Chain A
Amino acid sequence: MSAAVYRATGVARGLETAGAWLLGALWILPLAYALWTAFHPGEFSTRFVLAAPLTLANFAKAWAAAPFARYFVNTVILCTMILAMQLLLCTLAAYAFARFEFPGRTIAFALVLVQLMVTPDVLIVENYRTMSALGLRDTIVAIGLPYVASAFGIFLLRQTFKTVPKELDEAARVEGCSPLQVLWKVYVPLARPVYLAYALVSVSYHWNNFLWPLIITNSVESRPLTVGLQVFSGTDQGIDWSIITAATLLTTAPLLIGFLLFQRQFVQSFMRAGIK
């Protein structure tokens, strides 16, 4: 199944193609259904007739019914802030692990890897207490801070930095570069594809994150889109599915459009992030 000689032929091939397409149709069905409902008037939300008129009214109603513009701004600030800080902190830490000998390095690395298992998502009760003590409750900073020192990012970049030939490093030092200059001029440029991969994974994770933001925010000023969507569809709206699906598509649109445009990069990034 990995090479030409083991490819299905004849009837088997037809069956496999049919199976693959059936599964694909099933997988795209919820999104297709949401698109149908959102772009048609309410009375057509469960009636599938080709003559149904298209409309943008559901989107207009959803946009007017809740402060989605503010939620968009909050989410963009959140994702940008997290990513910028992650890139900085993870780069420095990964550089330390990859190229410096210091006492406690092994144990420190093991302590970093703990976060791969025990993600901030499960430590909600204590992190809420910490944020309250720091006076950060209901701020965008509080949503992002627990995720900034990302074990995944440190691990990924450390593996990448370790593949950089030591000779390049030494050559730069002979030229008189300080360790930070070496990092900036040698390591960071060579790791560019990994940075891109990590950025896409990080942005899609934090754009979609929900439980922790739900807990730590309670005002329009700090809520990200996911929480805003839940507040909107859970309480403000009765059960007007056309408007709820319009709001749902609205909140996911930037990510979805970005994904469709940069599909190849997205998929390759996730691949690269997984291989390590």
Chain B
Amino acid sequence: MTRTAQWLYGWLLLLPAAALLALFTHYPAAATAWHSFFSTPKGTRPPAYVGIDNYAQLVDDPIFWQSLSNNLWYAAGTIPLSIALALLMAAWVNGKLVGRGLLRLAYFTPTVLPMIAVANIWLFFYTPEYGLVEKIGSALGFAAHNWLGSKNTALGCLMAVAVWKEAGFFMIFYLAALQQISPQLAEAAAIEGASRWYFFRRVTFPLLMPTTLFVLVNAVINAFRLVDHIVVMTRGGPDNATELLLYYIYEIGFRFWDTAYAAALTMVLLTVLALVALGQFWFLDRRVHYQ
């Protein structure tokens, strides 16, 4: 095939996907940046250039700061816990435990259920008086507590749902990676007299590093991307205690229809995601061992 034909084929094959990607990923990202410098059109009044007014509003908006800090706490709470549980589950399911097929099924099932549906079930769990959590609590002699209605516990309740939903998903990737580690490594280490924990810390875990990175990046993205359960369980309340960034964008953009301010908020979210991407490259460069 001639060079020109290669060029032509390459671009023609790519064209349909590239056009849609440009229209629904690159254009909206750029348009968000552009619109964040304009006012929201109201009635017949067209948008006007307002400079950094939207960002100034954002700096002065306590709910924005709370949603950002909530989101960071949410990420800090859910990510390490779901990854640690995923690794533990994978190690168990990879071993010769009794009934490991059933266990794998139990761990993985939350992954295929829609977040919106499981949020309904968990909402029932947390219901005051009737809910299972409350029943167990009262049986053990704890005082009645409105789990989702209290500022101190609402975010924790949502984090529990997220960990429950995601750990099994991440387990799959660890399981795949564990199955690729050669059993000879363990035999060699055992001959050298390495303890079980030492072997995990110095051999297994480093070999799992690429998987951990992959899972970590997915976990971080999900912590900022998945807010379905908030719509069902708390709607950001009580008193903004469960307001996460994307849910706040949804509220501003589609309940108050302030699209300009929503654009400025989206820029913050895009910045967070860009930082994750940069962090990933930095980490890939220095820390991850490849076999």
List residues of A whose CB falls within 8 A of some B CB. 1-8, 16-17, 19-21, 23-25, 27-28, 30-31, 33-34, 37, 45-46, 88-90, 92-93, 95-97, 100-103, 105, 108, 111-112, 114-115, 117-130, 145-146, 148-149, 151, 154, 179, 204, 207-208, 210-211, 214-215, 225-226, 229-230, 233-234, 239, 241, 244-245, 248-249, 251-252, 255-256, 259-260, 263, 266-267, 270-272, 274-275
What's the Cα separation between A8 and B97 when bound, in Å? 10
Pick 16 A–B contacts, CB within 8 A, sort by A: A2-B181, A95-B13, A114-B29, A121-B226, A128-B254, A204-B112, A210-B114, A215-B250, A225-B114, A226-B228, A230-B232, A252-B117, A256-B109, A267-B108, A271-B172, A274-B211
| Nearest opposing residue in chain A for B259, CB measure | A125
- Is A251 in contact with B114, judged by CB distance below 8 angstroms? yes
Given A2-B178, A146-B24, A248-B121, CB of A125 within 8 Å of CB of B253: yes
What's the Cα separation between A5 and B200 when bound, in Å? 12
What's the Cα separation between A25 and B102 when bound, in Å? 10
Instruction: Note all chain B residues with C-beta closer than 8 A to A272.
Output: 176
Instruction: Note all chain A residues with C-beta closer than 8 A to B231.
Output: 210-211, 214, 230
- Is B186 in contact with A210, judged by CB distance below 8 angstroms? no
Q: Mark B232-276, 1 if CB is under 8 A from A, else 0.
A: 100000000000001001100110000100110010011001101
Q: Which of A111, A122, A226, A248 contacts B26 (CB 8 A)?
A: A111
Cβ of B14 under 8 Å from chain A: yes
| Nearest opposing residue in chain B for A46, CB measure | B130
What's the Cα separation between A127 and B250 when bound, in Å? 13
Task: Please count the residue pairs between chain A and chain B whose beta carbons lie under 8 angstroms apart in the complex.
Answer: 299
- Is B28 in contact with A16, judged by CB distance below 8 angstroms? no
Chain B contacts with A in 143-195, Cβ cutoff 8 A: 164, 167-169, 172-173, 175-178, 181, 183, 185-187, 189-190
- Is B274 in contact with A124, judged by CB distance below 8 angstroms? no
| Nearest opposing residue in chain A for B190, CB measure | A5
Cβ of B70 under 8 Å from chain A: no
- Is B115 in contact with A210, judged by CB distance below 8 angstroms? yes
Which 4 pairs from chain A and chain B are nearest by CB?
A102-B10, A126-B28, A3-B186, A100-B10
What's the Cα separation between A204 and B92 when bound, in Å? 26
What's the Cα separation between A234 and B250 when bound, in Å? 17
Instruction: Note all chain A residues with C-beta closer than 8 A to B214.
Output: 274
Cβ of B76 under 8 Å from chain A: no
- Is A23 in contact with B89, judged by CB distance below 8 angstroms? yes
- Is B132 in contact with A27, judged by CB distance below 8 angstroms? no
Chain A binder among B1-9, B50-58, B59-67, B283-291: B1-9
- Is B130 in contact with A16, judged by CB distance below 8 angstroms? no
What's the Cα separation between A117 and B274 when bound, in Å? 8
| Nearest opposing residue in chain A for B194, CB measure | A6
What's the Cα separation between A215 and B259 when bound, in Å? 14
- Is A6 in contact with B186, judged by CB distance below 8 angstroms? yes
